[in-house]
Amino acid sequence: MLHIKCPHCGMRSQNEFSYGGDATVKRPELGEEISDHDWDNFVYNRKSLRGRHWELWQHLSGCRQWIKVERDTATHEIFKTLKANEDIS
Amino acid sequence: MTQSFRLETGGLINRDKTISFKFNGKNYFGYEGDTLASALIANGVHLIGRSFKYHRPRGFFGAGVDEPYAIVQLYRNGETEPNIKATEQELFEGLEAKSVNCWPSVNFDVGAINNFLKIFLPAGFYYKTFMWPKSFWYKIYEPFIRKAAGLGTASIKHDKERYEHKYEYCDLLITGSGPSGLASAYSAAKNGAKVILAEDKSRFGGTLLTSDVNIGNQSGKEWADSIVSELKEMSNVTIKNRSQVFGYYDHNMLVMSERISDHLPKTKKYHPKQRLWYIRAKEVLISSGSIERPIVFGNNDTPGVMLSSAAKEYMKVYGVLVGKKPLVFTNNDSGYETAIEFKKNGVDPIILDTRKEPQSEIIEEAKNMNIDIKNSYVVVAAQGYKKVKSADIAKISDDKEELGSVENIKCDCICVSGFWTPTIHLASQSGNKTKFNEEIDAFVPGTSKQNEKTLGAANGIYTLEETLKDSFEKGNQLSKEITNNDNKVSFPNVVEKKSTVHDKFWCVPLPKGKNYKRFLDFQNDVAVSDIEIALKEGYRSIEHVKRYTTLGMATDQGKTSNLNGLQLVSKIENKVVPAVGHTTFRPPYSPVSIGAIVGREVGKHSKPTRKSPMHSWHEKNNAVFVDAGVWLRPRYYKRGDENLFEASKREAKNVRTNVGVCDVTTLGKIDIKGPDAAELLNRVYTNAWLKLPVGKARYGVMLREDGIVMDDGTTTRISENHYHMTTTTAQAANVLSHLEYYLQLVWPELNVNVVSTTEQWAGAAIAGPKSREVLKKLFPNSDVTNEGLPFMGYMEGDLFGVKAKIFRISFSGELAYEVNVESDYGYFMWEKIIEAGEEFGIQPYGTEALSTLRIEMGHVAGSELDGRTIPYDNSLEGLISKKKDFIGKRSLSRKAFAAEDRQKIVGVVPLDKKTSIPEGSHLVKDSNAPLPNPKLGYISASCWSVEHDNPFSLAILKDGKNMIGEKLFVMSPLKNKVIPVEIVSSHYVDPKGERVRS
Ligand SMILES: [Zn+2]
């Protein structure tokens, strides 16, 4: 079980969180003209990366904040966690 | 009965307390402190079971967790448990155990015929033989294999025992209380670190209990005892015996099973049987020691052949002799320690040492005791069927290839020592890259991936002095980094006998003309010849060889067999062992009971139960409940002899003709506040929300980004910047997360707060043509006329002093209201409604009637919003705004979603107006078409229409728009039904929606 540092609450066990997918995906602006191809990429297509990956988690059974977590998908090492409003550097 | 193999004195058992037990129906006695194994051996019982594949006789091989043979079926306090190691099971009064793998009895076993047919049971036998013909597998082969090859029988009764889970955090977790565990725990504890020390056995001390050493002028055991009692006094130390750390998971999470009551005749009141600990440790020190490995020779699985260290442990800990004419077969000095212990207890052993001229302190001592030592000698084969009777021995050449002439000597046990294998399971599980240590001919931990270090014998350090030094230092150093204390522990004077190098000899060649089985894996019956066949057949990767031959795949996970297997593969392949590599170690290190893993989450505790504040009223009024997620909801209220069908029909009918009341507390409720609340709703829902006036409710549908309907519900504008959203019972939690996602990550500029208020409000739906009359009585001071509170209107009211929210919304399709009060007043509200409604014939209705009402009205619910449908499919396209963008809108213009013949919701009525239509059935054009019959759609929900008094269903049907009036067939292969039906509108009652506005 992973041990995730919530930027608001501190170190917490994985079972307090829920996974929320790739944190680098940006939703197209509302009303934006967008091709089928680009929309499909946003909705469906995700890379299944091996290695460092920025992902979203929600501290569901804690502060309920969505956070960004940089994790190695192969080793589970967590390098950094950020608040929702902090930019991935 | 006398214990003929019990020594007069000695051991750590309590001879004042006799314990009676039963094995295979026979009564025996042992002492307090015995294991089932030590007590059986003391009684001269060596035949304990039959082997897995060949059903060869099985005795004892080890004295602890490494035991591959002595697995029994245990009976305790009216319960039975399979897969218990006799070497681990502590003796208790009234214990009963039985052999496994044998039928009809351990002495006469029918399956042993496999042994004589073993030429037919080589590696991969199951794969090769039972594959053909295919149809035989389920009926003949599998049941036969399962019956013949079990390790006991699991009870099918409910387990009455309690198992607990515990979460713990510590600075240092130390696994094993041998010299390295005690030393490191002691120095870490002195620095004030929070330490957990776990010992698998009942006694602390590990090898200190059996080795002839001296630490600080005390015996090993005395030193261990003094350290343990000091640790027990320290508040920062948790020290646990009977506790096996069996799994090392990510981020230094380890799992330990503590056997609290397994050693007692029955579990004490309020005590659990076992407790599972989830331990998050800053640092882990693995001090799990090492396991002696066998030397491979002919018939080396005969009862009486066992590890030399086990023989020593039986003498020193239990005061038990494993034999009276022992042969010690060794390639290193450890065998000598066992021989010396035999000699001290008045038994004359013979040592066969594979080495030519070894010299060391220990060997010197053995010589001085006049122990018979034969150098360059090996055991060629054990003789005897159910017990060792003699051994064929021979001299072996210096290159270890040639055997001299074979002679036979009498013996009743063969104690084998092929040197020591570090227990690296936990380190390997943690992701440590293990490396091969040439010197000890075994793998040791290498580069750590997590915060883990391995100490002492588990790290390939086999001298006590070095182990203690290293362990004191590591314990001090790691704790110092955590606590910033540096309390050095003075290092005690250590006296131990020096030993010399071992001989890298592990397998005795077969003598000419003999074809003895030489076993590598004792639990799974894998012999040298099986590995040879696998390699001949082209298996190369050690992982493949393992699966093909089942080497190391038994419940002992190859603790005694893996390395010898590797040695063999590397020898045949002409590779060095590290090039072959070892197979992956996986948790659990040793079997864990399912009960411990499940813990308290059984039966009604497997999930929380949520009840509405009106629950006790429902109970008192004969409600029959149904699970709705974790909620318990009344399904119907039983009157007299009514069944579900009759009761729900009565309740639904009463709503259509009079008035009914339904507990709707379970609906999800989300409070939404902030100046941008309307903007959020406008982006989340498919319809327009910016112009909803205060005091009005609106129905809305929300989509996922892929255009699929996520949820529906009504949201009411309570005041300028305050909205009350309702969700379906099932989606409440998901919708909240969904809103939080968009507010926190996508549109943080929106100034809105959302919070769940599901549990803060109790809700009652009052539905039916007479509902307004009830409402008038409940709120005499409010104007609830059609003008004062129109359809989709909202007002606050005073319910006899209780503040209430009144929504005029309807799920049943009738004139209806939903009243919410704070949860604490829910029961009060409900009673008042029943009281006020009495003169109008009010009846409570449950979820079954609720479903009937919504189905015949064509209102969609979970069975239509099933994660596969878009708004169009549910005839909700009228709710899609053309003017604005919203979540998922772009997806709706995708080709498949805009197809002309897309599926759509329709109504289905059987032509005979009698036959009920099973939910989940398929709709087809021709019931006699050849299979697979093309499916046009499926029945999503069925009911008995109380309005029309005939069955009615909703279906999602291809090209549903153009299918109204068509005649199709409903097919349910599951219920074996074919029903001719007519497709009608999904709005079977009041299609114009006049009633809700009346
Ligand atoms: Zn948090």
Residues B882 and B856 in one domain: no
| Nearest CA-CA distance, residue A86 and chain B, Å | 10
Mean of the pLDDT values across residues B982-998? Answer: 95
- Let me know if residue B632 belongs to a domain: no
Rounded to a whole number of angstroms, the distance from the CA of A35 to the nearest CA of chain B is 10
Question: Which structure tokens are listed for B768?
Answer: 């039916």
Angle formed at CA B434 by CA B432 and CA B435, multiple of 5 degrees: 150
Q: How far apart are CA B920 and CA B956, in angstroms?
A: 10
Query: How close is the Cα of A82 to the center of ligand 1, in Å?
Result: 11
Assess whether B461 and B395 both reside in one domain.
no
Q: How many residues would you count in chain B?
A: 998
Facing A43 at nearest CB: one of B449, B706, B741: B706
Assign 3-class secondary structure to chain A. CCEEEECCCEEEEHHHCEEEEECCCCCCCCCCCCCHHHHHHHHCCCCCCCCEEEEEEECCCCCCCEEEEEEECCCCCEEEEEECCCCCC
B179 within a domain of the structure (yes/no):
yes
Report whether B686 contacts B732 (CB < 8 A).
Answer: no
Q: Yes or no: say if B762 and B631 are a contact pair by the CB < 8 Å rule.
A: no
Q: Identify which of B724, B695, B727, B691 has the alpha carbon closest to the alpha carbon of residue B712.
A: B727
Nearest residue of A to residue B744, measured between CA atoms: A84
Q: Cα–Cα distance between B614 and B761 in angstroms, integer?
A: 12
How many domains is chain B partitioned into structurally?
Answer: 7
Comparing alpha-carbon positions, the chain B residue that sits nearest to A23 is B745
For chain A, what is the domain count? 1
Nearest alpha-carbon partner for B292 in B22, B65, B550: B65
B:237-266 residues touching chain A, CB 8 A cutoff: 249-253
Residues 6+ apart with CB under 8 A from B734: B710, B711
Q: How far apart are the CA of A30 and the nearest CA of chain B, in angstroms?
A: 6
Give the pairing type, strands B372-375 and B350-353. Answer: parallel
pTM of the model: 0.89
| Structural domain ending residue among the three candidates B495, B527, B546 | B495
Chain A residues closer than 8 Å to B249 by CB = 1
Nearest CA distance, B581 vs chain A (angstrom): 21
| pLDDT for position A73 | 94
CATH number of the domain encompassing residue B536: 1.10.10.1100
Provide the domain limits for residue A64: 3-25+41-83
Neighbours of B407 (CB within 10 A): 13
Whole-number Cα distances in Å, B827 to B15, B361, B432, B831: 66, 85, 59, 6
The one-letter code for the residue type at A35 is S
Banded pLDDT at B606 (limits 50, 70, 90):
confident
Which two three-digit tokens encode residue B979? 């029903």
Domain that includes residue B474, residue range: 163-290+422-495
Task: Name which of A39, A66, A85 is nearest B740 (Cβ-Cβ).
Answer: A66
Task: Tell whether B228 is covered by a domain.
Answer: yes
Does a structural domain hold residue B504? no
Query: Does B286 lie in the same domain as B322?
Result: no
Question: What local confidence, expressed as pLDDT, does residue B543 receive?
Answer: 87
| pLDDT confidence band for B133 (50 / 70 / 90) | low
Least Cα distance to B224 among B183, B190, B175 occurs for B183
- Asked whether residue B638 is domain-assigned, the answer is no
Distance (angstroms) between ligand 1 centre and the Cα of A67 equals: 8
Cβ-contact B264, B161 below 8 angstroms: no
d(CA A16, CA A61): 5
Is the peptide bond between B588 and the residue preceding it cis, with omega within 30 degrees of 0?
yes
DSSP letter at B969 equals E
Final residue in a domain of this structure, among B826, B846, B867: B867
Residues B659 and B770 in one domain: yes
Question: Does residue A35 sit within a domain?
Answer: no
Q: What residues of chain B lie within 8 A of the CB of A64, using their CB?
A: 740
| ipTM of the shown complex | 0.98
The pLDDT value given to residue B549:
86
The alpha carbon of B6 and the centre of ligand 1 are apart by a number of angstroms equal to 61
CB atoms within 10 A of CB B734: 15
Which of A27, A69, A87 is the mutation pick for testing B, counting most B CBs within 10 A?
Answer: A27
> Do B683 and A30 make contact, defined as CB atoms within 8 angstroms?
yes
B568 and B442 belong to one structural domain: no
- Is B251–A56 a contact, with Cβ atoms under 8 angstroms apart? no
Contact at CB, B741 and A30, closer than 8 angstroms: no
What's the whole-number mean pLDDT along residues B78-93?
94
> What tokens appear for B760 in the block?
């803060």
- Minimal Cα–Cα distance from A47 to chain B, Å? 18
CA nearest B893 in A: which residue?
A36
Q: CB under 8 Å, gap of 24 or more: what pairs does B718-721 form?
A: B718/B694, B718/B794, B718/B805, B719/B694, B720/B694, B721/B673, B721/B674, B721/B675, B721/B677
Q: Is residue B609 part of a domain?
A: no
CB within 8 Å: A66 and B744: yes
Instruction: Say if B616 falls within a structural domain.
Output: no
In a domain, B58, yes or no: yes
Q: What is the pLDDT of residues B926-942, one digit of tens each?
A: 999 998 999 999 999 99
Task: Pick the closest to residue B861 from B735, B703, B729, B985 (CA basis).
Answer: B729
Q: What is the CATH number of the domain that holds B698?
A: 3.30.70.1400
pLDDT digits (tens, 9 = 90+) for B563-590: 898 999 999 888 888 888 887 889 999 9
Same domain for B751 and B740: yes
Distance, CA B670 to ligand 1 centroid (Å)? 20
pLDDT at position B147: 55
Do B470 and B361 lie in a common domain?
Answer: no
What is the distance between the alpha carbons of residues B472 and B186, in angstroms, rounded to a whole number? 7
> Do B4 and B130 share a structural domain?
yes
**A82 has pLDDT over 90:** yes
Q: Measure the CA–CA gap between B633 and B610, rounded to whole angstroms.
A: 9
**In the structure, what pLDDT confidence band is assigned to residue B358 with cuts at 50, 70 and 90?**
very high
CA distance B486 to B477: 8
Separation of B782 CA from ligand 1 center, angstroms? 45
- Long-range contacts of range B739-743, CB-CB < 8 Å, 24 or more positions apart? B739/B670, B739/B672, B739/B680, B739/B684, B740/A58, B740/A64, B740/A65, B740/A66, B741/A20, B741/A58, B741/A66, B742/B680, B742/B683, B742/B684, B742/B887, B743/B680
Chain B residue with CA closest to A1: the answer is: B250
Is residue A13 situated within a structural domain?
yes
pLDDT of residue B552: 84
Identify whether residues B299 and B278 lie together within a single domain: no
Distance CA B358, CA B502 (A): 9
**Angstrom distance (rounded) from CA B707 to CA B898:** 11
- pLDDT-derived band at B541 (thresholds 50, 70, 90) equals confident
Candidates A12, A42, A43, A44, partner chain B, best to mutate (most B CBs within 10 A): A43
Residue B734 distance to chain A (closest CA, Å) = 11
Q: How many CB atoms lie within 10 A of CB B731?
A: 19
We report the CATH number of the domain holding residue B356 as 3.50.50.60
- Structural domain ending residue among the three candidates B105, B130, B157: B157
Q: What is the mean pLDDT of residues A54-66?
A: 97
Note the pLDDT tens digit of each residue in B721-769.
Answer: 999 999 999 999 999 999 999 999 999 999 999 999 999 999 999 999 9
Helix or strand run (H / E) with residue B607: none
Which chain B residue has its CA at the smallest distance from A5's CA? B251
CATH number at residue B981: 2.40.30.110
B882–A contact, CB cutoff 8 A? no
Rounded CA-CA distance B60/B62 in Å is 6
CATH label of the domain that carries residue B845: 3.30.1360.120
Is residue B143 scored above 90 in pLDDT? no
The CATH number of the domain holding residue A7 is 3.30.2270.10
For residues B722 and B789, state if they share a domain. no
pLDDT tier at B113, thresholds 50, 70, 90? low
* CA–CA gap between residue B301 and residue B60 (Å, rounded): 10
Q: Is residue A74 part of a domain?
A: yes
Residue B320 DSSP code: B
User: Which pLDDT value is given to residue B104?
Assistant: 58
Distance B819 CA to ligand 1 centre (A): 35
B660 and B674 within one domain:
no
Q: What is the least distance, in Å, from the CA of A11 to any CA of chain B?
A: 11
Query: Residues B402, B534: one domain?
Result: no
Of B249, B449, B746, the CB nearest to A27: B746
Pull the structure tokens for residue B147.
Answer: 């019956």
